Amino acid sequence: MELEAYAKENHVPIMDPLGMEFVQQMIRLKEPVRILEIGTAIGYSAIQMAYSNPDVHITTIERDEDRYNEARRNIARAQLEKRITIIQGDALEVSDTVKVHGPFDMLFIDAAKGQYQRFFETYKPMLEDNGFILSDNVLFKGYVANHSADGSNTAKIASKIRSYNDWLLAHPQFKTTIMPIGDGIALSVKR
């Protein structure tokens, strides 16, 4: 509850509670041992994922230095430093550092919405054959369904997410289902 309040007060985007519960349930069902999260923010999702299964280890990437430092404090307060490894840097630039922590059973994408496809392509080679990928915010508050071309930042992001969803649904190596849970979660499983 403390992290949710902090996020709300400081305008830090964290997962919708229903979406987070879905992610936790997937972890309970599939029992991944190694998870890669792209987009740590303040550590909320990584901590919740760690609580879902005592055997899971999470490697998480955060670009913003302030959020990285806040996440480190929150992970330490939760006494999860041994199970959550946080890497500071741009996810598109630190793949060599991340690779030593893999391969991964689960990839969780929740960062710069316009980069989802690049994140997916960069890290899918690090995914185990029985692994799966979750992408958050794929419905983007309903804007993805609205084909507005008003030039606003929101419309541009929605357009990029819509393109990502189309690309993902047509991906020959993955079977994807988009769940209308939280802000929309795409579940992609290797074919």
Q: Quote the pLDDT of residue 149.
A: 67
The whole-angstrom distance between residue 32's C-alpha and the CA centroid of its chain comes to 15
pTM of the model: 0.94
Residues above pLDDT 70, as percent of the chain = 98
pLDDT of residue 79: 97
CA–CA distance, 158 with 153 (Å, rounded to integer): 9
Q: Please give the annotated binding residues for S-adenosyl-L-methionine, written as ranges.
A: 15, 45, 62, 90-91, 110
Residue ranges of the annotated binding site for Mg(2+) are: 110, 136-137
Distance of alpha carbon 109 from alpha carbon 37, whole angstroms: 6
pLDDT tens digits, 83-126:
999 999 999 999 999 999 999 999 999 999 999 999 999 999 99
Q: Is there a contact between 97 and 87 (Cβ–Cβ < 8 Å)?
A: yes
pLDDT score of 180: 94
Six-digit token pair at 153? 């930042």
Per residue of the chain (191 residues), what is the pLDDT tens digit? 688 888 888 888 888 899 999 999 999 999 999 999 999 999 999 999 999 999 999 999 999 999 999 999 999 999 999 999 999 999 999 999 999 999 999 999 999 999 999 999 999 999 999 999 999 999 987 778 777 667 788 888 888 999 999 999 999 999 999 999 989 999 999 88
Annotated binding site: 15, 45, 62, 90-91, 110, 136-137
Question: C-alpha angle 139/27/125, rounded to 5°?
Answer: 75
Domains identified in the chain and CATH numbers: 2-190 (3.40.50.150)
Residues 6+ apart with CB under 8 A from 86: 40, 43, 46, 59, 60, 61, 62, 68, 71, 72, 75
